Structure 1
Amino acid sequence: MITIFGKYLRDLRHMHTELLKDMADRLSVSAAFLSAVESGKKSIPPTWPSLLNIAYQLSAEMRRDLNQAFDQSQKTAVIDLNNQSGERRGVAVALARTFNDLTDEQLDLIKRTMFAVKKRGTES
């Protein structure tokens, strides 16, 4: 089944009248690997959003959509806790431990809070 990220890639290819092989060449991978990523059989390489942005000179709106598709298609998330304070490690582990018990409303609140903090950090 095609992932949200895979659909984004397909739409991007069609927009540029490219074949799967053309995009695979831009990403320096085989067409088979690209197809497996689109269908969710392989994980999305973390460098792809940046590579796609450069290769296709995406607009701000398209970059936002790409990043959202990337985030929504991930099967796992890794947080590197090396060199983090005990407080930060505790928060990350507590979130991971309780993640499946959170309601959609609670997750939305956490997400909005994170983006508000990030936005404030970029305005300084």
Structure 2
Amino acid sequence: MGGMTLYGKALRKLRVEHELTLKALSEKLDEELSPAYLSAIEIGKRAIPHDLSDKVKEKLGLSDAEYKELKEAEYKSASELKLNFNEMEEYQAETALVFARLLKNFDTEKCKKLQSMMQKP
């Protein structure tokens, strides 16, 4: 890791908009993450805890739009994706595994088509 990530920028933007210091944000998050750790997340030196965006939404009372922006930044900044197969049907878990295995072979055009198809209601 290194260099400010999209998530770091989004988190810092929210923190500043809510007029919070790193210490104040840490306190709002029940001090689960120290100010130093939050700073490291903002500058891209630490991984994003899997539940941080949800906690920030809850503790800061984010709007749906703010939360969506933060989650999108999280997905774009993540170096890995963790899936909880316990929350899926067996066929869904199998599909996710097949997709993960084959994705590296997809070119940009194929990815765009697949995204378009999956985003249709």
Structure 1 and Structure 2 fold alike (TM over 0.5): yes
Q: Percent of counterpart pairs with the same letter?
A: 28
- Structure 1 SS opposite 2:103: helix
Q: What TM-score do you get using the length of structure 1 for normalisation? A: 0.77
1:113 aligns with 2:117: yes
The within-5 A match list for 1:72-87 is 72-81=76-85, 84-85=89-90, 87=91
Question: Corresponding residue for 2:51?
Answer: 47
Per the TM alignment, residue 98 of structure 1 is displaced from its structure 2 partner at its CA by 2.2
Change in Cα spacing, 1:100 to 1:32, as seen in structure 2 (3 Å) is same
After the TM superposition, which segments of 4 or more aligned residues of structure 1 sit over 6 Å from their partners?
A: none
More displaced, 2-11 or 56-65?
56-65
Q: How far apart, in 2, do the equivalents of 1:10 and 1:34 lie? A: 9
Once superposed, what is the RMSD of the aligned Cα atoms?
A: 2.1
Q: What TM-score do you get using the length of structure 2 for normalisation? A: 0.79
Per the TM alignment, residue 109 of structure 1 is displaced from its structure 2 partner at its CA by 2.8
Per the TM alignment, residue 11 of structure 1 is displaced from its structure 2 partner at its CA by 0.6
Per the TM alignment, residue 69 of structure 1 is displaced from its structure 2 partner at its CA by 0.8
| Pairing partner for 2:24 from 22, 25, 48 | 22
Deviations 1:58-101 (A, max 9, x none): 1121111111111111111123446753x545432332222222
Deviations 1:40-73 (A, max 9, x none): 2222111111111111211121111111111111
Structure 1: unaligned runs, 5 residues or longer: none
More helix by share: 1
- Structure 1 SS opposite 2:104: helix
- Structure 2 SS opposite 1:101: coil
Q: How far apart, in 2, do the equivalents of 1:115 and 1:51 lie? A: 26
Which residue identity does 1:2 align to in structure 2? Answer: M
